[in-house]
Amino acid sequence: MSEPSDPTGTSGPNGKGGAGATGDTGDTGTTGAEGGPSRPGDLLSPAARLLCDAMTAGFPGPGDPAALRAAASRGSDGAGPCGPEVASVYDTDAAGVPVRVYDPDPGAEGRPLAVYFHGGGWVMCGLDTHDALCRSLAAASGAVLVSADYRLAPEHPWPAATDDALAVLLWAREQAQALGCDPARVTVAGDSSGGNLAAVTALRAPGLVAGQLLFYPALDASMDSASVEAYAEGYFHTAAHMAWYWDTYGGDPAHPHVSPLRAPDLSGLARTLIVLADCDVLRDEGLAYARRLAAAGVDCTVQLHPGVFHGFLGLPLPAGAAALRAAAEWVAAPE
């Protein structure tokens, strides 16, 4: 559910209308696949397959939080790329939760504000693993971005992370004007398990959120979808890892603040952008959530990227750059 350092040298951890898919290739429903022909039968592009196999070889199996955390932290120790320059980056405290604030243009006013929750299966990763991604999103969107260092399982099982996420949102709303932001333009965002936290936070405080940006989010603890079986192994983020993350995180799988896809009513939620990898166990629950949002009258857009796997946003692949660019434009756009 998160990525070890990218073996190529690039850090790994990293709309309007209904729930139809959009992408760089026009109205085809998907973005362009990566590179030339893949090996026969492989759904990943050649470039993505090389990255996937190298990352898988360096990533431990499920069950040992310390080993997973060590693997995820490689590449965030200053040896790897540090992302674009951002005018002001500082750490502070948000109602007891450590956060890092990225301000691309100190002194400006009326800007969007994004509250970001990192991925990592609710077990690993933190401010440093996602620093490059947060820098990139802040710089490209012009938004002030607040990255939350929420408590991790198994030491702090559900609902610790969801409570921290809500606390950071409330703090960000209170500080919006002081940060030079419009409190009516607050977006919650996150990747993987962080996408889960963003979706849960939007459900808990719908009147305080103007948008939710979900990168390959975990939305249903039942893991009962065709993509779980189709991509269970061989695509880095395995079904076995995902099942262990859910078990370690805890909570009632049927509770909507654990599994947002189970929420009985999604009406009234903020506009939503869901970004998915085609070769991912989480793909189908993301699509199902988008369909439910659209059916509830929510302004929801899906971007489905073929030929790539879970975690592609932080990788040196055209789809990663395209997804980040589109997400930044979406955050920056007025409602």
Which of the residues are catalytic?
A: 192, 280, 310
**Cα(333)–Cα(62) distance, rounded to whole angstroms?**
39
Question: Nearest Cα to 137, choosing from 333, 325, 334?
Answer: 325
**Cα(10)–Cα(80) distance, rounded to whole angstroms?**
6
Is residue 116 a contact partner of residue 134, using CB atoms and an 8 Å limit? yes
Helices (H) and strands (E) in the chain, counts: 9, 8
Contacts of 26 (CB under 8 A, 6+ apart): none
Is residue 193 a contact partner of residue 245, using CB atoms and an 8 Å limit? yes
**Cα(146)–Cα(168) distance, rounded to whole angstroms?**
8
Contacts of 270 (CB under 8 A, 6+ apart): 187, 202, 206, 209, 210, 211, 212, 298
Q: Counting every residue, how long is the chain? A: 335
**Cα(209)–Cα(191) distance, rounded to whole angstroms?**
17
**Tokens read off for 249:** 């995180």
Contacts of 59 (CB under 8 A, 6+ apart): 3, 4, 68, 71, 236
* Omega prior to 256 cis, within 30 of 0: no
